[in-house]
């Protein structure tokens, strides 16, 4: 049996649905019953202190980490598992890889192939994984480089680009697979302060275009300006969630107030 193909986002169905998700590393509980839904076109920003489980949750969404209990669905399909007889059975790696095609992820570090140009980095996955025609992929890759403001640097290698430029190439690379969901794991944390804005501008453009996004970030200003929902995670638990401006202006929980007082 093979995994069902990921579906195009249904306006009546959450793109991401997490139900009582738990994750342990040995005796350490990293996620403790996370419940979260992200609607199509929504930008959900996740904040919290280091070690709160933010990055782990994001990695669970595309099965880079396996959950230990609960259910995680993207576009109505269990991620990494099929359910049979009331029990979850893990999919084969090939089936998981097929699911990941609909989920783009941008990490703190850019992870570009150093021996490939910006254009080649973007073309690699669609050509190799999706077996698309090189001419079609090249045209899309150039459009994406233009979109992130780097069309003129298509032949540059990563070492010839700034950190902000490399992260913009990494975003274009994720978009080249035409995902229905984009995950961002603190995409500006490894950048010099003066380079942060150029990456956030690309993410604003994505949000405006209607891309569904889950963004782990310390950029509270971006969350307040662009986000549709703000989730505060602490010790693997969602302490508070709501509209970003409301949460930032009138946090209901003392733990949220204490955290925001240090970052605002």
Q: pLDDT grade, residue 9 (50/70/90)?
A: low
Q: What is the pLDDT of residues 208-248, one digit of tens each?
A: 999 999 999 999 999 999 999 999 999 999 999 999 999 99
Q: In angstroms, what CA-CA distances link 62 with 80, 101, 127, 182, 230? A: 8, 10, 21, 10, 20
Rounded mean pLDDT of 150-165?
A: 97
pTM of the model: 0.93
Q: What is the pLDDT of residues 36-64, one digit of tens each?
A: 999 999 999 999 999 999 999 999 999 99
Q: Is 109 exposed, middle or buried (0-12, 13-18, 19+ CB in 10 A)?
A: middle
Q: pLDDT grade, residue 85 (50/70/90)?
A: confident
Q: Does residue 12 surpass a pLDDT of 90?
A: no
The closest of 46, 56, 47 to 262, measured between CA atoms, is 47
Altogether, the residues listed in the chain come to a count of 264
């Amino acid at each position: 049996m093979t995994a069902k193909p990921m579906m195009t986002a249904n306006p009546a169905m959450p793109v991401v649905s997490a139900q009582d998700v738990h994750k342990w590393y040995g005796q350490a509980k990293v996620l403790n019953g996370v419940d979260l839904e992200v609607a199509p076109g929504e930008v959900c920003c996740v904040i919290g202190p280091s070690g709160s489980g933010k990055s782990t949750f994001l990695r669970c969404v595309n099965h880079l980490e396996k959950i230990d209990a609960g259910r995680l669905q993207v576009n109505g399909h269990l991620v990494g598992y099929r359910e049979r007889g009331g029990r979850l059975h893990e999919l084969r790696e090939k089936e998981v890889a097929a699911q990941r095609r609909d989920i783009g992820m941008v990490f703190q570090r850019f992870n570009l192939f150093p021996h490939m140009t910006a254009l080649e980095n973007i073309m690699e996955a669609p050509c190799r994984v999706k077996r698309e025609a090189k001419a079609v992929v090249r045209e899309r890759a150039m459009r994406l480089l233009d979109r992130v403001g780097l069309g003129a640097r298509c032949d540059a290698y990563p070492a010839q680009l700034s950190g902000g430029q490399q992260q913009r190439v990494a975003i274009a690379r994720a978009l080249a697979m035409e995902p229905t969901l984009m995950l961002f794991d603190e995409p500006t944390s490894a950048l010099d302060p003066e380079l942060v804005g150029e990456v956030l501008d690309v993410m604003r453009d994505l949000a405006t275009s209607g891309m569904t996004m889950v963004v782990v970030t310390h950029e509270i200003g971006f969350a307040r300006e662009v986000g549709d929902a703000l989730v505060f995670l602490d010790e693997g638990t969602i302490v508070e969630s709501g509209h970003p401006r409301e949460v930032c202006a009138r946090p209901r929980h003392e733990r949220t107030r204490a955290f925001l007082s240090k970052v605002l």
